[in-house]
Amino acid sequence: MQADPVIAPSVLVVEDDEHISQVLRFMLERQGYQVVHMADGRAASHHIASAQPPALVLLDVMLPYVDGFEIVGLIRAQPAWRDVPVLMLTAKNTERDTVRALDAGASDFVIKPFQPQELLARVRRFLRPAA
């Protein structure tokens, strides 16, 4: 009997900067993750309302239409998505923004420009199988 293949964890990337989203996709897919990308807050809102939850969300703060703070609130309001780790990415580097992101329900917060290996370590921390 053959074992079922392991299904790669999926990561929802919500990022409006095309270059950054391509870098994130490349990094994550190279590590074996499945990546779904949304380029703005409106698309992400529709996705959250209608799709199965991913294993993790990488979420930019400054997005067109609906910002990352509102998106994390939508994620936490959806019962199926409530426990999905949300790692927020932002170019804003103030204590106020960090506190606002964490208070909104973000699991962690990374400042852009990020170091790729540090970001991947944070992703792995949230996607480790439960012991």
CATH code assigned at 38: 3.40.50.2300
Q: Is the pLDDT of residue 11 over 60?
A: yes
Is 3's pLDDT higher than 80? Answer: no
The total number of structural domains in the chain stands at: 1
Residue 28 included in any domain: yes
Residue 61 lies in a domain: yes
Band the pLDDT of 2: cuts 50, 70, 90.
Answer: low
Residue 1 domain-assigned? no
Is residue 76 predicted with pLDDT exceeding 80? yes
* Chain segment 107-118, per-residue pLDDT in tens: 998 988 999 999
How far apart CA 119 and CA 109 sit, in angstroms, is 10
Domain assignment present for residue 99? The answer is no
Residue 71 lies in a domain: yes
Print the domain residue range for 25. 15-93+106-127
Residue 6 in domain: no
Q: How far apart are CA 30 and CA 87, in angstroms?
A: 19
Q: What is the pLDDT of residue 54?
A: 97
Q: Is the pLDDT of residue 44 over 50?
A: yes
What pLDDT sits at residue 1? Answer: 46
In a domain, 112, yes or no: yes
Flag whether pLDDT at 66 surpasses 90. yes
> Hey, which bits of 1-131 come out as E strands?
10-14, 34-38, 56-60, 86-90, 108-111
What is the Cα gyration radius of the chain? 14
Main-chain dihedrals φ then ψ at residue 34, nearest 5 degrees: -90, 135
